[in-house]
Structure 1
Amino acid sequence: MTSIREALGRLWDAPDEAPMLQQDGQWFSWGDIRVLSETLDRELGAVGAGPGARVAVVLENRMESVAALITLLRTERTMVTLSPLQPADRLGDDLTASAADYVLAPRELLENTVFGAVAADSGATVFAVDGGDVTVYAKASREPRAGDPGVLIEMLTSGTTGPAKRIPLRRKQMEASLSAALEHNNRPEVRDKPPLTGAVGMVILPIVHIGGLWSLLTALLAARPIVMLKRFSIEGWHAAIVEHRPILGGLPPPAIRAVLDSDIPREDLSSLRAMIAGTAPVDPDLVDAFLERFGIPILVTYGATEFAGAVAGWTAKDFRASWADKKGSVGRAFPGVRLQVVDDDGRVLGAGQTGRLQVASAQVGDSAENWVTTSDLAHIDADGYLYIDGRADDVIVRGGFKIAPETVVRALRSHEAVADAAVAGLPDQRLGQVPVAAVQVKDGATVTGEALREHCRSTLTPYEVPVSVFVVDELPRSAALKVDRRRLIALIEELQQQN
């Protein structure tokens, strides 16, 4: 495909007065963002940040982050993402662990005594970036290290199933991923419309995670105007859809469920031809309910930070032809992606057999020929449709019987009072592990944990039925609205002690 650098260069053909980014009702022009991007480039160059320089960015959903991303992607520097969604002390620890030589952060954050002290003592050159103002907050006290210009972004995983890991995503990986997604959805690599015209790109999730960053990248590379929410809310999302009438939207499953449970009129979403969902498992019943109420298909995708985006998914054409027969699938492999399922000994399994999913693609590793083993359990049917059956590291082994938490979650969600559910395995002296669940009920509904256990008995095998089900006000979620497994286990353990 056209390189990321070349694609971003198209923005410089836009007039300065062109509206580029709307955030919380405020528009920023291309001129606003261009001037800041060029200022960042100049200031970084002045302190020696050349190709391969590792620049840590506190990546908030704000105009300054968009300008920083454009700068770093065009100049062969590497963006090291820092999540502003964590407390100041953890953010400081993350900055230290990153060992970045240059830092871009909001002045307000640098004035926090905890994070500011860490930044000042990091040995890096630290810039405060606010609006069009870029000032040196701390000067370097060590020599910068040589970096790899081939690495585009060092990105943290969501950390919902374990400690977050920083994943280096190479330029070639990202370009392969973007090209595959465009081909999969039958879209051109370069739009024939003038830059910053036409339908807006919607950025709803935090850009510090792959789902939000992917939305921002695709909008930037297509030179679309962008609507960005600082935080997702039903009210903010609804207002943006009504104002801008986009043809494509994207939300994680909990947000889709919230839209479904809202009083948004069907006609308000009539511009949407499809919704994309892929940050977490999507209940097929949710897809059917959304289609029935709004007439909008939900096109499920499957990917990960390590894959530089999605590697499989539904198209609108496939959905119309096959959803009724293939519901529950996450779609078919993107162009250039190969998928297979293997057993514990590495033997390739046949159609319909569950095992560990392996992926081979230029967007996954150093070579498109190498198979990369994932943590997901899956099967692939005879028509190439992929089904995710759970995570190998999430499987609960109860007295020798294996339990996929998602199977139990689906059973709990099928109860009319349940809005959402999550299941985890807790240690048990006799059985090794046992499944325990937490559920969030719908507004106005009431149900007991024992009633939900009884409901599970009607659809699950006896060993799959949770030993306890706790009704909670809200499930613990990450910024990407995934259930945070570590916080879930801590919550369940606390509830057990109270009972």
Structure 2
Amino acid sequence: MKSLAELCEQTLAIVPSRPAIEFEGEWLDWGSVQALAQDVRLQLSQSGAGAHGPVIFAPRNRPSALAALVAMLADGRSVRMIYAFQSPAAIAAAIERLDAPVAIMADEDFTPEVRAVLAAKSMAAIGLSGMRARLMPGLESGAPRPDPADAPQVEILTSGTTGPPKQFPIPHEVIAGLVLNQGMTLIEDPDEPPFLMSFPIGNISGIYSVAASLLRGKRVVLLDRFSVEKWRDFVVRYRPKAGGAPPAAVAMILDADLPAEDLSSLKFFSTGAAPLDPTVQRRFEEKYGIPILLSYGATEFGGPVVAMTPKLRAEWGDAKFGSVGRAMADVQLRVRDPVTDAISGAGEEGILEIVSPRMGPEWIRTSDIAVIDSDGFLFHRGRADGAIMRGGFKVLPETIERALLLHPAISAVGVVGVADPRVSQVPGAALELRPGVARPEVGDLEAHLRQHLPSTHIPAHWRFVESLPKNPSFKIDRPGLKALFEDPPPG
């Protein structure tokens, strides 16, 4: 099997005049991608990163980030992803937790806070602007580190099931397998519709999108973030037979009331990364006559492991409506009783466990409640650990609670998931204030949280209470907490 580095070198040898990436209405050819990739590789070698030293990478959804990613993978480097959609203080804190000889991100993300931590850790910095890369003034070289002994990997940020967000390693060979599973040869058909990429480059869905498209020579239409207007424009212009988007997009498309003829080329709509409200799925399918194919996966599995395929949907129709499908090749599924820990039978609800051959032969215990029916179809019932699924991001209430308790006005806090038709759930925060302290503005609390957490963790609903609901053991009563958000806030 070809290595990921070899696959990247293959794409960097594509005819330079071929179109590669469309961004904000303009097409960039492969020559532009290749030139930036080679420039990044040269600057990495000049920065003290060594031949295969790891890189901290905070990509924005821009062509320069895709080209830089290909360059790092072609060099066989480990890439330590952090999210760019954070405050400068949060980006600096993420860099502080990691170590690498060099960091790559957009020019504007090298704020004073970020530059200070890079200097303190003797790290170099490469800034991306347009389709240019440069060593940032004052941060041109970093202290040498020994090349890592481990095989190269892409470390993707995940919430995990306990504690703060952490890096989860995806070996290069796993990503190479994702590329090769799509097809052994580069795509050279100029009439094949491009791939629409709207997932963040730095998460597992973004990496999977890159593997399925750019690394196979497929044209990419890159969005900085999903929007109904841009998605519709893509579908109308290129008339693809299959489409997809994050689960939150389904409700957004319905709310926009797009004409059915605009979507008439689509035979299927694929979505995953988060649960989809069955009522929203039903409304979409009835309005547009397009079946929605659900899937299930996670960073810890190296991508999707269960999917509803067009063949399965054609065979079973609505009989398995709401299912995320059957296990993919060589994937194993089972459910355990949450009380007895015994393996559950068909149709019995419990905690899902999975063997993902991409990641090894061990069973991975999830925090998801699921049912596997007698025909092998998986139905996802929700979370067992209280995690909030906000679009494609898993948010732990405890993480938000800890950060809010650092605010001087807050005495106690409880955070729960509140149903949202667009992104499945959003955080809601209920707060007790310290005696004699003035009630802070919500904007001040949001600004406080942005100093500690990514924007996905900012609550969408706030309640100020005299006392948080407690159970007989004087612990926060979660059902009572949820009830606070069932009615509109008092005026």
TM bucket, shorter chain: 0.7 to 0.9
| CA deviations over 1:369-395 (Å, ceiling 9, x no partner) | 211111112121111111112222028
Distance 2:31 2:249 in 1: 33
Tell me the distance in 1 between the aligned counterparts of 2:2 and 2:318: 37
- Report if the CA contact (8 A) 1:81-1:154 is conserved: yes
Distance 1:6-1:267 versus aligned 2 partners, 3 A rule: farther
Equivalent AA in structure 1 for residue 170 of structure 2? L
Q: Does 1:311 align with 2:282?
A: no
Tell me the amino acid that sits aligned with residue 316 of structure 1: P
Alignment of 1:153-192 (within 5 A): 153-157=154-158, 163-177=164-178, 182=181, 189-191=183-185
> Quick check: 2:51–2:147 contact (8 Å CA) kept in 1?
no
Q: Which stretch has the larger CA shift, 115-124 or 86-95?
A: 115-124
Partner of 1:272: 266
Matched, 1:100 2:100: yes
Q: 1:289 to 1:191 in 2, by over 3 A?
A: farther
Relative to structure 1, the CA distance from residue 439 to residue 47 in structure 2 (aligned partners, 3 Å threshold; closer, same or farther) is closer
Q: CA contact under 8 A between 1:51 and 1:149: conserved in structure 2? A: no
Question: Measured at CA, do residues 120 and 440 of structure 1 come closer, stay the same or move farther in structure 2, by a change above 3 Å?
Answer: same
Deviation string, structure 1 residues 168-206 (Cα, Å, up to 9, x no partner)? 111233344556xx4xxxxx5235742776221110122
**Native 8 Å contact 1:424 1:435 kept in 2:** yes
1:337-486 counterparts in 2 under 5 A? Answer: 337-344=331-338, 346-364=341-359, 367=360, 369-394=361-386, 438=418
Contact 1:53 1:149 in 2 (8 A): no
On the 8 A contact 1:40/1:68 being kept in 2, the answer is yes
Q: How does 1:292-303 map to 2 (within 5 A)?
A: 292-303=286-297
Matched residue count: 421
Maintained 8 Å contact 2:294/2:307: yes
TM-superposition CA deviations, 1:262-287 (whole Å, max 9, x none): 13111111222222111211122222
Deviation at 1:435, TM superposition (A): 11
Instruction: Output the CA distance in 1 between the equivalents of 2:8 and 2:142.
Output: 33
Which residue of structure 2 aligns with residue 414 of structure 1?
A: none
**TM-fit CA distance, 1:331:** 0.6
Q: For 2:43, what is the secondary structure of its paired residue?
A: helix
With normalisation by structure 1, the TM-score equals 0.76
Contact 1:37 1:70 survives alignment (8 Å): yes
Q: 1:330 aligns with which of 315, 324, 330?
A: 324
Quick check: 137-146 or 308-317, which moved more? 137-146
Q: 1:435, 1:147 → 2: CA distance?
A: 40
Give the C-alpha shift of residue 315 in structure 1. Answer: 0.3
Tell me what 1:82 maps to: 82
* Compared CA separation, residues 68 and 160, structure 1 to 2 (3 A): farther
Aligned to 1:461: none
- Partners of 2:23 and 2:149 in 1: CA distance: 33
Change in CA separation of 1:224 and 1:146 when aligned onto 2, cut-off 3 Å: same
Q: 1:70 to 1:424 in 2, by over 3 A?
A: closer
Per the TM alignment, residue 130 of structure 1 is displaced from its structure 2 partner at its CA by 2.0
Question: Which digits, 9 at most, give the CA deviation of each residue in 1:64-120, with x for residues without a partner?
Answer: 11111111122210111121100111011111112122111222222x222232233
Q: Distance in 2 between the 1:436 and 1:79 partners?
A: 33
Deviation at 1:440, TM superposition (A): 5.6
- CA distance in structure 2 between the aligned counterparts of 1:386 and 1:136, rounded to whole angstroms: 49
Q: Percent identity?
A: 30
What is residue 147 of structure 1 aligned with on the other side?
148
Query: Relative to structure 1, is the Cα distance of residues 10 and 305 closer, same or farther in structure 2, using a 3 angstrom cutoff?
Result: same
Deviation of 1:12 (Å): 3.8
Structure 2 letter corresponding to 1:207:
I
**Distance (Å, rounded) in 1 between the aligned partners of 2:13 and 2:193:** 18
Q: Give the C-alpha shift of residue 438 in structure 1.
A: 4.1
Query: Aligned pair 1:291/2:278, yes or no?
Result: no
2:275 corresponds to: 281
Question: Which residue of the partner structure matches residue 68 of structure 2?
Answer: 68
Contact 1:54 1:79 in 2 (8 A): yes
Task: State how far apart, in whole Å, the 1-side matches of 2:455 and 2:384 are.
Answer: 17
The answer to whether the 8 A contact 2:179-2:215 is kept is: no
Q: 1:10 to 1:325 in 2, by over 3 A?
A: same
Distance apart, 1:131 and its partner CA: 3.1
Aligned-residue offset at 1:323: 3.9
Over 3 Å counting, the alpha-carbon distance change for 1:50 and 1:338 in structure 2 is farther
What residue in structure 1 maps to residue 437 of structure 2?
A: none
Pair 26,219 (structure 1): closer, same or farther in 2 beyond 3 Å: same
**1:424: how far off?**
8.4
Aligned pair in 2 of structure 1 residues 441, 389: CA closer, same or farther (>3 Å)? closer
Aligned to 1:17: 17
Classify 1:388/1:177 alpha carbon distance in 2 versus 1 (closer, same or farther; 3 Å).
Answer: farther
Counterparts of 2:168 and 2:267, CA distance in 1: 33
Give the residue type in structure 2 aligned to 1:210.
Answer: I
Q: CA separation in 1, counterparts of 2:337 and 2:88?
A: 43
1:57 has 2:49 as partner? no
1:177–1:334 distance in 2 versus 1, CA, 3 Å: farther
Specify the alignment match of 1:263 in structure 2: 257
Which residue is 1:124 aligned to?
Answer: 123
RMSD, matched Cα: 3.4
1:220 to 190, 209, 214: 214
Following superposition, the deviation at residue 309 of structure 1 comes to 0.9
Do the aligned residues in 2 keep the contact of 1:191 with 1:222 (CA within 8 Å)? yes
Most deviating of 146-155 and 348-357: 146-155
Q: Contact 1:14 / 1:194 at 8 angstroms: preserved in 2? A: no
Contact 1:14 1:196 in 2 (8 A): no
2:443 alignment partner in structure 1: none
Distance in 2 (CA, whole Å) between partners of 1:219 and 1:68 is 16
Deviation at 1:158, TM superposition (A): 5.6
Asked whether 1:320 is paired with 2:321, we answer no
Quote the offset at 1:486 in angstroms: 5.2
Q: Aligned equivalents of 1:39 and 1:172: distance in 2?
A: 25
Cα separation, 2, equivalents of 1:353 and 1:485: 33
**TM-aligned CA distance change 1:69 to 1:436, over 3 Å:** closer
Matched residues in 1 for 2:145 and 2:43: separation?
15
Does the 8 Å CA contact 2:156/2:299 hold for their aligned counterparts?
yes
Aligned in 2, Cα 1:193/1:94: closer, same or farther, shift over 3 Å? closer
- Tell me how far apart the structure 2 counterparts of residues 52 and 382 of structure 1 sit (CA, whole Å): 49
Contact 1:423 1:438 in 2 (8 A): no
Per-residue CA distance 1:270-323 (angstroms, 9 max, x = gap): 222222111211122222221221222111010011112101011011112224
How big is the shift at 1:17?
A: 1.5
Is the Cα contact below 8 Å between 2:57 and 2:104 reproduced in 1? yes
